């Protein structure tokens, strides 16, 4: 029995439990703001950090992220769903790479490439009200294949 | 120590047994029988035995093949396309593809290659596309070139290449695409580019290389189809290096995350020294923009100034008389006249979409564009009080007009009478308030495609679509009909040439039996996402060979007299309907199984009732609707009782009769 348990444990460590979740990471913690995220792409995790967190979010934030592309990203779109106290507050979709307007230098890179991006993201400035928010972020290409998916939690105190 | 070793051994043993458990049943997805298979993300360390020998297209990315050699793929001799992205390949040994004569495309993106053997690519008769993106290449000598005579595209992005000089023996005569994105190329010499001379019609990509210098006249030797220097900080270096070159399409755009210096007239002076047909300068900023800024753009036919922070274009630009295509998307114009259209009398294509601020469509701003064929003004929150006759004055050659995603446009009668040659009109997601009985599209004799999805139309206006004799394709998605009914006399009666009709998400409950009677040329009918029941199928009785989409409706059963109507169509989608899988629907269920080849979305066509069959695919349902054993028993008992009763009745009757004789 003990052997069986050990085998199971080793299996879990080696293969990753099927259906198991990726670890939760801290994207930033400063100025009364904490941002945690967890990859919701069953195939892989990714890395993200935000340079300057604060309740009064500055425009044009710099971020860093690293991931392996599982799809070509000639076209790339971002869907954001913001939930506060179980109620969906905001939904929007934003094109990042388009055939006639690649906004970022990584647009057009191919499946299998490892991407590391450090740079500004062109966000507007806004103040975050005190509370806890759930944000679902999805990056996908023109075939609606997932490029990255994140469940983020924002704690503003 | 011994204990540690035994622990280690145990761990190895255990992990070995795990591997077996984990990879016990990897299943490739069959996309096309005996031809196309997808084995991505399965952690395979060899080609599965289940793949047929005839496989032609194999997607094998994200597996585990540290070494590939001539035995690895030897069974699959018909391969034409092989994707080995991120398979952790270190070694490509001798004669790996020796038996693969048909191989056309090889993808090695994201593999940490240590060595490719000299004869690795021997075998294929004509290998055309080779992807070596992010494989750690530092020098082009790494690629054994002698069996690459027919190579058309070579992708070398995201490596550590600093010189584009190909080895002398490398065949370049068939090359059409040479992609050096995101490498470390800082300098291009004349000799580097001369190597590419045998390739005619070449597309070269240097996007994301920090090029500091180009030897003057380096590009003089060849005509290039396209050259991309995207993300370069200083364009004067590029212009200097491209002196006396001939390039059809030159991409010099910048990005959100790269630095760009301002484009001064002095920098753009370089364009006078070269021949370019099409140029893209996205996301740059012009310093002191005057008509003189464009004096070297005389030979340019296509100009893309997307997101170049423009608030207006200067008037009196000379030398742009022959510009054919102008892209001014994502700029800051206040009204359309600020583009000073008179500068570009030969323009055939004009795109001004996604303007950062609300764009006003003033009268006659484009009237000098008599040759314009295509105009895109979508996503501009466009505002026009009385659209669109005066605003589109002079556009007598316009064939395609996109006004989708605008603010409400109140259309006049004959709103497009200044554009009589219009073939395509897109008004999707633009509210169209109009007076009753109005016919805004009248006299568009050539209009073939009309997109009116989500326009909040008054669908009870039967004259809405009058005067469209050539209309083939009509999209009315997301418009509501009164009472959810499409009545016998409706707006579609005016457009009898229709071949494609989209009525999805229109809140329809019922379609009258004669609603489509004038439409005799229909090929494609989309009625999905409504609340239709089987009764509406009668409206399609006179149509044959349709692609018919009835997905996401309210169809429970289909009675037997309607089944011939479905039978005469080409492809039918009935997915996401609350279908009944009981004997009351047996005719339909039998028909469904016999016609699986014409049914689309059969994976999502499932039973809703009875509860015991909920979620079961219709194609998997087995029903026996004859009389059951229990039924036969009861029937036998019943007839026995009836016989006995009859016997006694006759006996009683006879006795009664004889008593009275």
| A78 near B CB under 8 A | no
Check if the beta carbon of residue B102 is closer than 8 Å to that of residue B80.
Answer: yes
Measured N-to-C along each axis, helices B2-22 and A2-15 cross at an angle, to the nearest 10 degrees, of: 70
Residue B203 in any domain: the answer is: no
Mean pLDDT of B576-590: 92
Looking at every residue in chain A, the average pLDDT score rounds to: 86
- The domain that holds A76 is classified in CATH as 2.60.40.770
What is the C-alpha separation between B423 and B425, in angstroms, rounded? 7
* pLDDT at residue B27 greater than cutoff 60: yes
Omega within 30 of 0 (cis) for the link into B291? no
ipTM: 0.87
- Where residue B467 falls (left for φ over 0; alpha for ψ -120 to 50; beta otherwise) is left
Distance from CA of B21 to the nearest CA of A (A): 9
Residue A9 in any domain: the answer is: no
**Does one domain contain both B445 and B465?**
yes
Check if the beta carbon of residue B124 is closer than 8 Å to that of residue B105.
Answer: no
Distance from CA of A11 to the nearest CA of B (A): 5
Residue B13 in any domain: the answer is: no
Residue B169 in any domain: the answer is: yes
Mean pLDDT of B284-302: 92
- Model pLDDT, residue A16: 43
- The domain that holds B105 is classified in CATH as 3.80.10.10
* pLDDT at residue B168 greater than cutoff 90: no
**Does one domain contain both B75 and B145?**
yes
**Does one domain contain both B422 and B305?**
no
Tens of pLDDT, residue by residue over A16-42, are 444 568 999 999 998 889 999 999 999
Q: Tally Cβ neighbours within 10 Å of residue A32.
A: 14
**Does one domain contain both B88 and B171?**
yes
CB atoms B110 and A68 under 8 Å: yes
Residue A152 in any domain: the answer is: yes
DSSP secondary structure letters along B300-344:
-SEEE-TTS--S---S---S-TT--EEE--S---SBGGGG-GGG-
Nearest CA to B379 out of A56, A100, A63, A46 is that of: A100
**Does one domain contain both B466 and B526?**
no
Tens of pLDDT, residue by residue over B311-342, are 999 999 888 989 999 999 999 999 999 999 99
Tens of pLDDT, residue by residue over B457-512, are 999 999 999 999 999 999 999 999 999 999 999 999 989 999 999 999 999 999 99
Residue B642 in any domain: the answer is: no
- SS3 (DSSP) at B514: coil
Nearest CA to B207 out of A107, A44, A57 is that of: A107
Q: How many residues does chain A have?
A: 157
- Model pLDDT, residue A22: 93
Q: Which residue of B has its CA nearest to A62?
A: B257
Q: At a CB cut-off of 8 Å and minimum separation 6, what does A132 contact?
A: A84, A153, A154, A155, A156
Residue A3 in any domain: the answer is: no
- Model pLDDT, residue B160: 96
% of chain B residues with pLDDT over 70: 95
Tens of pLDDT, residue by residue over B52-108, are 999 999 999 999 999 999 999 999 999 999 999 999 999 999 999 999 999 999 999
Residue A98 in any domain: the answer is: yes
- Model pLDDT, residue A53: 87
Residue B226's domain comprises 212-309
Q: Tally Cβ neighbours within 10 Å of residue B504.
A: 20
Q: Which residue of A has its CA nearest to B16?
A: A11
Size of interface A-B (CB pairs under 8 A): 88
Distance from CA of A99 to the nearest CA of B (A): 12
Residue A4 in any domain: the answer is: no
**Helix-strand-coil percent breakdown of chain A, rounded to 5?**
10, 50, 40
- Model pLDDT, residue B374: 97
- Model pLDDT, residue A43: 93
Residue B101 in any domain: the answer is: yes
| A64 near B CB under 8 A | no
Distance from CA of A155 to the nearest CA of B (A): 28
Nearest Cβ partner of A112 from B11, B109, B253? Answer: B109
- Model pLDDT, residue A95: 95
Mean pLDDT of B559-567: 93
- Model pLDDT, residue B522: 94
Residue B300 in any domain: the answer is: yes
Name B426's bridge partners: B402, B451
Nearest Cβ partner of A15 from B18, B134, B258? Answer: B18
% of chain B residues with pLDDT over 90: 73
**Does one domain contain both B161 and B301?**
no
Q: Tally Cβ neighbours within 10 Å of residue B620.
A: 12
Check if the beta carbon of residue B383 is closer than 8 Å to that of residue B355.
Answer: no
Indicate which of A99, A111, A114 best probes the interface with B, i.e. most B CBs within 10 Å of its own CB: A111
- pTM comes to 0.87
Q: What is the dihedral of CA B65, B69, B70, B75, to 10 degrees?
A: 0
- Model pLDDT, residue B404: 96
Tens of pLDDT, residue by residue over A47-106, are 999 988 888 888 889 999 999 999 999 999 999 999 988 889 899 999 999 999 999 999
Residue A2 in any domain: the answer is: no
* pLDDT at residue A134 greater than cutoff 70: yes
Name B57's bridge partners: B36, B81
Q: Confidence band (pLDDT; 50, 70, 90) for B661?
A: low
**Does one domain contain both B288 and B350?**
no
Residue A84 in any domain: the answer is: yes
Tens of pLDDT, residue by residue over B436-454, are 888 999 989 999 999 999 9
**Does one domain contain both B240 and B301?**
yes
**Does one domain contain both B274 and B349?**
no
- Model pLDDT, residue B26: 66
* pLDDT at residue B18 greater than cutoff 50: no
Mean pLDDT of B262-285: 93
- Model pLDDT, residue A15: 42
* pLDDT at residue B197 greater than cutoff 90: no
- Model pLDDT, residue B217: 87
Higher-confidence residue of B480 and A9: namely B480
Question: Phi, psi at residue B255, to the nearest 5°?
Answer: -130, 170
**Does one domain contain both B327 and B255?**
no
Q: Confidence band (pLDDT; 50, 70, 90) for B646?
A: confident
* pLDDT at residue B601 greater than cutoff 50: yes
- Model pLDDT, residue A86: 86
* pLDDT at residue A123 greater than cutoff 70: yes
DSSP secondary structure letters along A94-123:
EEEEETTEE-STTTT--TT-EEEEEEE--P
The DSSP element (H or E) to which A38 belongs, if any, is: strand A33-39
- Model pLDDT, residue A124: 87
Beta strand extents in B201-359 (DSSP E only): 202-205, 213-214, 223-228, 246-251, 275-280, 302-304, 325-327, 349-351
Q: How many domains does chain B have?
A: 4
**Does one domain contain both B181 and B38?**
yes
Q: Tally Cβ neighbours within 10 Å of residue B357.
A: 12
* pLDDT at residue B6 greater than cutoff 50: no
Higher-confidence residue of B632 and B231: namely B231
The H helix count followed by the E strand count for chain B is: 7, 34
* pLDDT at residue B10 greater than cutoff 70: no
Omega within 30 of 0 (cis) for the link into B63? no
Residue A31's domain comprises 17-156
Residue B100 in any domain: the answer is: yes
* pLDDT at residue A143 greater than cutoff 70: yes
Residue B480 in any domain: the answer is: no
For residue B285 the two structure tokens come to 């900023």
**Does one domain contain both B533 and B446?**
no
Looking at every residue in chain B, the average pLDDT score rounds to: 90
Tens of pLDDT, residue by residue over B237-267, are 999 999 999 999 999 999 999 988 889 988 9
Nearest Cβ partner of A7 from B18, B208, B283? Answer: B18
Q: How many domains does chain A have?
A: 1
Higher-confidence residue of A148 and B654: namely A148
Question: How far, rounded to the nearest angstrom, does the alpha carbon of residue B102 sit from its chain's CA centroid?
Answer: 28
Question: How far, rounded to the nearest angstrom, does the alpha carbon of residue B661 sit from its chain's CA centroid?
Answer: 96
Residue A32 in any domain: the answer is: yes
């Amino acid at each position: 029995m003990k052997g069986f348990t050990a085998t199971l444990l080793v299996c879990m460590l080696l293969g990753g439990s099927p259906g198991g979740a990726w670890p939760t990471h801290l994207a930033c913690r400063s100025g009364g703001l904490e941002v945690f995220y967890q990859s919701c792409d069953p195939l892989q995790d990714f890395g993200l950090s935000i340079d300057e967190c604060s309740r009064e979010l500055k425009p044009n934030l710099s971020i860093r992220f690293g991931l392996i592309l599982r799809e070509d990203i000639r076209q790339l779109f971002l869907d954001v769903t913001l939930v506060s106290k179980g109620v969906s507050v905001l939904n929007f979709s934003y094109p990042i790479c388009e055939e006639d307007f690649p906004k970022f230098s990584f647009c057009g890179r191919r499946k299998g490439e490892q991407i590391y991006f450090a740079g500004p993201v062109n966000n507007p400035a806004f103040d975050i009200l005190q509370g806890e928010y759930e944000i679902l972020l999805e990056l996908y290409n023109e075939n609606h294949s997932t490029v990255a998916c994140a469940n983020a939690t924002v704690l503003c105190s | 120590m011994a204990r540690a070793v035994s622990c280690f051994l145990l761990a190895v043993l255990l992990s070995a047994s795990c591997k077996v458990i984990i990879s016990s049943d990897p299943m490739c997805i069959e996309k096309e029988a005996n031809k196309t298979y997808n084995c991505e993300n399965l952690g395979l360390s060899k080609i599965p035995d289940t793949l047929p020998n005839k496989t032609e297209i194999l997607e094998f990315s994200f597996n585990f093949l540290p070494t590939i050699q001539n035995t690895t793929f030897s069974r699959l001799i018909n391969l034409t396309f092989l994707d080995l992205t991120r398979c952790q390949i270190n070694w490509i040994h001798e004669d790996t593809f020796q038996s693969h004569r048909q191989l056309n495309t090889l993808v090695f993106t994201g593999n940490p290659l240590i060595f490719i053997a000299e004869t690795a690519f021997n075998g294929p008769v004509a290998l055309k596309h080779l992807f070596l993106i992010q494989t750690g290449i530092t020098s082009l000598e790494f690629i054994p070139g002698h069996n690459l005579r027919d190579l058309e595209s070579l992708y070398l992005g995201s490596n550590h290449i600093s010189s584009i000089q190909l080895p002398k023996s490398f065949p370049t005569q068939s090359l059409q695409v040479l992609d050096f994105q995101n490498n470390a190329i800082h300098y291009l010499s004349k000799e580097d580019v001369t190597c590419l001379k045998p390739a005619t019609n070449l597309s070269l990509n240097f996007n994301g290389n920090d090029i500091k210098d180009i030897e003057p006249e380096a590009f003089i030797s060849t005509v290039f189809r396209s050259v991309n220097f995207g993300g370069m900080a200083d364009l004067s270096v590029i212009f200097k290096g491209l002196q006396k070159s001939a390039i059809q399409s030159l991409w010099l755009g910048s990005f959100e995350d790269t630095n760009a210096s301002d484009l001064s007239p002095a920098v753009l002076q370089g364009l006078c020294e070269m021949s370019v047909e099409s140029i893209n300068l996205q996301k740059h900023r012009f310093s002191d923009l005057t008509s003189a800024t464009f004096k070297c753009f005389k030979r340019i036919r296509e100009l893309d100034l997307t997101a170049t922070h423009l608030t207006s274009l200067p008037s009196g630009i000379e030398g742009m008389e022959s510009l054919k295509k102008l892209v001014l998307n994502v700029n800051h114009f206040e009204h359309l006249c600020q583009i000073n259209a008179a500068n570009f009398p030969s323009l055939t294509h004009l795109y001004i979409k996604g303007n950062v601020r609300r764009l006003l469509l003033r009268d006659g701003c484009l009237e000098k564009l008599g040759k314009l064929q295509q105009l895109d003004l979508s996503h501009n929150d466009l505002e026009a009080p009385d659209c669109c006759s005066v605003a589109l004055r002079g556009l007598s050659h316009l064939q395609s007009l996109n006004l989708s995603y605008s603010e409400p446009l109140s259309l006049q009668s004959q709103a497009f009478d200044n554009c009589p040659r219009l073939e395509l009109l897109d008004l999707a997601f633009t509210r169209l308030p109009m007076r009753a009985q109005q016919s805004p599209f009248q006299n568009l004799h050539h209009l073939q495609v009309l997109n009116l999805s989500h326009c909040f139309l008054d669908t009870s206006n039967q004259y809405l679509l009058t005067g469209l004799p050539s209309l083939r394709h009509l999209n009315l998605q997301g418009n509501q009909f009164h009472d959810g009914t499409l009545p016998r006399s409706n707006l579609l009666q005016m457009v009898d040439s229709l071949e494609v009709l989209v009525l999805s998400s229109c809140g329809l409950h019922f379609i009258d039996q004669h609603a489509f009677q004038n439409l005799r040329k229909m090929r494609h009918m989309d009625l999905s996402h409504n609340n239709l029941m089987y009764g509406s199928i009668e409206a399609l009785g006179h149509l044959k060979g349709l692609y018919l989409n009835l997905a996401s409706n309210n169809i429970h059963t289909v009675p037997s007299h309607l089944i011939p109507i479905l039978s005469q169509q080409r492809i039918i989608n009935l997915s996401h309907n609350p279908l009944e899988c009981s004997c009351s629907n047996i005719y339909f269920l039998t028909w469904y199984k016999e016609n699986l080849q014409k049914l689309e979305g059969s994976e999502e066509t499932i039973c809703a009732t009875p509860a015991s069959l909920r979620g079961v695919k219709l194609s998997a349902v087995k029903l026996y609707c004859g009389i059951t054993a229990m039924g036969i028993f009861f029937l036998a008992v019943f007839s026995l009782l009836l016989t006995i009763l009859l016997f006694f009745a006759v006996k009683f009757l006879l006795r009664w009769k004889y008593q009275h004789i």
